[in-house]
């Protein structure tokens, strides 16, 4: 699986208010910036974002060949678009995975997905059953690669133990304000298996810039100081560079419909923090020196 350095997150596609022609132009702009990995999930937009993306992409095979389409399944939302769902729950049965993949292919108007992820760990997860679904989708050429999202190391290893091909990512929440994966073994596991983690909410859902909690205030000060010291970069760019510098090769998922913000994010790849700068950001986040 070849990821671009950044991924475009389409969770809020419906909120951006694009016309079809504007969405096509936006996709083209991202491709021009080197962002070729498109991150979807069946549930986004209450099961409508994939369909809206697919309508824009209809017949545009030249664009499809330039991108990697990612989708996720396993969450069941109560939605008017899924009238049989009576409770917010997880379903990682073979039947649900196969049907979800078929739906994504139909709505996205594509013959294959580059990557399919199990969206959340399911307390009733049957690893053998998931593996059967993955093998069938792979054999049928409908999904090229598989991975997980929000999995612990043990959950990842359990599913991997049932497969004769590698899971290629674990999409997790990680940012300067969300450090769990740096201490629970998830990022080390990605290095161990030489897979690239994908990072959702790399800007902490905006809390980094708007929260009045002490942690966010400390971080804004540290990021602003380092931004000035490195040539006038913005706090968001320094926070992104901090993620990019991790040796696991984190792929940030940028969930913005603002092309200027995306350009700024891409520019952050040019920034190289010193070790002292990197650890000063870590210290600002935790509020204490490293042991």
Q: Does any domain span residue 42?
A: yes
Q: Are 124 and 93 in contact (CB under 8 A)?
A: no
Tell me the C-alpha distance between 275 and 270, whole Å: 16
Q: Is 107 a catalytic residue?
A: no
What value does the CA radius of gyration of the chain take, rounded to a whole number of Å?
19
Which CATH number does the domain housing residue 93 bear? 3.20.20.100
Tell me the residue range of the domain where 104 lies.
7-168
Number of domains composing the chain = 1
Confidence of residue 57 (pLDDT cuts 50, 70, 90): very high
**What mean pLDDT value characterizes the chain?**
97
Handedness of CA 122, 128, 131, 136 (dihedral sign): negative
Predicted local confidence at residue 114, as pLDDT: 98
pLDDT tens for each residue of 199-240: 999 999 999 999 999 999 999 999 999 999 999 999 999 999
pLDDT tens for each residue of 59-76: 788 999 999 999 999 999
Q: Does any domain span residue 250?
A: no
Predicted local confidence at residue 179, as pLDDT: 98
pLDDT tens for each residue of 154-174: 999 999 999 999 999 999 999
Predicted local confidence at residue 175, as pLDDT: 98
Mean pLDDT computed over 73-101: 98
Tell me the C-alpha distance between 115 and 131, whole Å: 15
Residue 1 has pLDDT above 90, yes or no: no
Exposed/middle/buried for residue 91 (C-beta within 10 Å: 0-12, 13-18, 19+): middle
Confidence of residue 263 (pLDDT cuts 50, 70, 90): very high
Confidence of residue 198 (pLDDT cuts 50, 70, 90): very high
Q: Does any domain span residue 221?
A: no
H-helix or E-strand spanning residue 116:
strand 113-118
Q: Does any domain span residue 178?
A: no
Q: Does any domain span residue 111?
A: yes
Tell me the C-alpha distance between 61 and 25, whole Å: 15
Predicted local confidence at residue 59, as pLDDT: 78
Q: Does any domain span residue 195?
A: no
The two structure tokens encoding residue 276? 């002292």
Tell me the C-alpha distance between 45 and 264, whole Å: 26
Confidence of residue 131 (pLDDT cuts 50, 70, 90): very high
Which range among 8-12, 54-58, 70-74, 242-246 shows the weakest confidence by mean pLDDT? 54-58
DSSP 181: G
Q: Does any domain span residue 179?
A: no
Q: Does any domain span residue 212?
A: no
């Amino acid at each position: 699986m070849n990821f671009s350095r950044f991924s475009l997150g389409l969770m809020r596609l419906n909120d951006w208010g694009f016309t079809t022609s504007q969405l096509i132009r936006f996709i083209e702009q991202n491709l021009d910036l080197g962002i070729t990995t498109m991150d979807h999930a069946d549930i986004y937009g209450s099961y409508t974002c994939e369909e809206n993306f697919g309508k824009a992409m209809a017949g545009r095979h030249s664009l499809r060949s330039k991108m990697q389409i990612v989708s996720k399944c396993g969450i069941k939302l109560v939605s008017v678009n899924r009238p049989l769902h009576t409770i917010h729950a997880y379903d990682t049965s073979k039947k649900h995975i196969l049907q979800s993949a078929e739906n994504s292919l139909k709505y996205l108007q594509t013959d294959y997905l580059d990557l399919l992820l199990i969206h959340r760990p399911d307390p009733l997860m049957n690893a053998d059953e998931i593996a059967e679904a993955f093998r069938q989708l792979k054999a049928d050429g409908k999904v090229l690669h598989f991975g997980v999202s929000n999995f612990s190391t043990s959950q990842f290893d359990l599913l991997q133990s049932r497969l004769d091909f590698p899971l290629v990512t674990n999409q997790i929440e990680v940012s300067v304000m969300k450090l769990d994966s740096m201490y629970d073994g998830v990022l080390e596991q990605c290095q161990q298996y030489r897979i690239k983690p994908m990072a959702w909410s790399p800007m902490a859902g905006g809390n980094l810039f708007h929260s009045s909690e002490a942690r966010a205030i400390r971080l804004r000060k540290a990021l602003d100081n380092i931004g000035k010291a490195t040539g006038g970069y913005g706090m968001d760019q320094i926070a992104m560079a901090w993620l990019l510098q991790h040796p696991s090769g984190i792929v940030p998922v940028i969930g913005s419909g603002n092309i200027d913000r995306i350009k700024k994010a891409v520019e952050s790849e040019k920034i190289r923090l010193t070790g002292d700068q990197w650890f000063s950001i870590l210290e600002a986040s935790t509020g204490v020196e490293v042991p």
